[in-house]
Amino acid sequence: MAGLTTQSLISPDAGQEIYALAREIYPICRSITGDGVRETLDIIGRHIPIERKELPTGAKVLDWEIPREWNISDAYIKDAQGNRLIDFRQSNLHVVSYSAPVHRRMSLDELRPHIFTLPEQPDLIPYRTSYYADAWGFCMSRNQLDKLESAGGEFEVVIDSRFASGSLTWGEYLHRGASTDEVLLSAHICHPSLANDNCSGLALQTVLARALSNMKTRFSYRFVFAPGTIGAIAWLATNDAEASRIKNGLVLSCVGDAGGPTYKRSRQGNALIDRVMIHVLRHAVAEPNIIDFFPYGYDERQYCSPGYDLAVGLFQRSQFATFPEYHTSADNLDFISAENLAASYGWVTDALTILESDRTLINLNPKGEPQLGRRGLYAGTGGDKDAVRHNMAMLWTLNLSDGTHSLLDIAERSQLPFKAIARAASALEEHGLLAERRAREG
């Protein structure tokens, strides 16, 4: 197995592979429990040897309880002539997730309290949920509601759903490295047809896990595909020992659009993963969106709850709830692209490469600068900006390699890319000017 580098993880087709997988799982109606989650895990399981975990309805997980399993077969609103004006088969966003079953004839006035629209986005269907309440509803565009109003009369209203004692399901894949210390990557698997806010993270994480599976790594890597909130809580409740081994982690979502990139720090604020992601993004784009931790969002808030306080941040392109497509039917396959997915994948792999290769060296010739020119290390400058950067990377690395600064420390202090510092360090080692003092633990 080859060692981990950014180059070894990325193939020219990575973006296309991620997009193809996102497209395959996009039509599936997922919720926090049910067959949609299992079907999605079946597809992911064709790419990586995923292990499926389940907890039964009623099981206690921390302060929560596993809910009844919910599945849905069909739903519609028909006019008096039997025409489907609202059709679940056309969009699984049309039904409020976890809706109770209903089969009634009713007027629009009776139906209206159960209708959800976006008046300011009249062409779009909203995404709504009713996980822990006995309720039902339909989501539709404002334009579709106008058609209901024009139709008049009574409507046949059907939601063919069912609740049953069943299970909450999630999937895991563990890539074992030289150390039992783990890096966590987690994506939520509970949304229906939302390409960016669900499918993109699941697909990127799967392709990354597959790439890692044939590599020798320093850390072990745990990939979790779990329903939002209740899934992460269930994982934490049943994995005390594993949670204690997690030294760094990322929650991945909304990684396929053209915005951002955005990084939300862990609760710790300056954990190694925070420093690494901020370093990567600041050298990738002019103004990345770096935000401090706050206890709302995705499953980073579960992993960062005070009883665990894991070093887990959130990586996205556009920040959740800030873009007009968020939680609407506009979050479709046209909203994401292979190009944007490839860029996100590259930034994540850059971060993992830093975690893997960060180390602390010591200058073996610390009194004055060693003569680099006679060793063939000092590049001619002239107008070559790369030569200038290479030379500065060597000088910074020599100066700060005193046994107390890691390569990441040096990259941050010098404001040079980690890759440049790491290359300089390797060259200096080869010429006997640096030696490794101790490995930097994550």
User: Which among 221, 284, 214 is positioned nearest to 252, based on CA atoms?
Assistant: 221
CB count within 10 Å of CB 189 equals: 29
**For residue 83, what are the contacts with CB-CB under 8 A and spacing of at least 6?**
none
d(CA 318, CA 288): 10
Residue 101: exposure state from Cβ atoms within 10 A (0-12, 13-18, ≥19) = middle
Instruction: Give the single-character DSSP code of 418.
Output: H
Q: What is the DSSP letter of 374?
A: G
Has 47 been labeled as part of a binding site?
no
The beta-strand segments (E) located in 243-326 are 246-252, 262-264, 289-291, 312-316
Instruction: Report the candidate in 145, 253, 234, 241 with the shortest Cα–Cα distance to residue 191.
Output: 253
Q: In what order do the strands lie in the sheet with 359-363?
A: 402-406, 359-363, 434-439
Q: What is the 3-state secondary structure (H, E, C) of 108-140?
A: HHHHHHHEECCCCCCCCCECCECCCCCCCCEEC
Neighbouring C-beta atoms of residue 374, cutoff 10 Å: 8
Whether the CB-CB separation of 174 and 220 falls below 8 Å is answered with yes
CB 4 within 8 A of CB 353: yes
Cα dihedral: 63, 66, 68, 72 (round 10): 110
Residues 161 and 73 sit within 8 Å (Cβ to Cβ) = yes
Residue matched to tokens 């800030």: 322
Give the Cα separation of 409 and 348 in Å (integer): 19
Residue 327 known to bind ligand: yes
Q: 198-226: buried (b, 16+ CB within 10 Å) or exposed (e) per residue?
A: bbbbbbbbbbbbbbbeebebbbbbbbbbb
Known binder of ligand: residue 114?
A: no
Q: Which of 250, 240, 255, 282 is nearest to 411 (CA)?
A: 282
Amino acid at 176: R
**184 contacts 222 by C-beta, under 8 angstroms:** yes
Q: Are 121 and 331 in contact (CB under 8 A)?
A: no
Question: Can you say which residues are annotated as belonging to the binding site for Zn(2+)?
Answer: 191, 197, 327
Question: Can you say which residues are annotated as belonging to the binding site?
Answer: 191, 197, 327
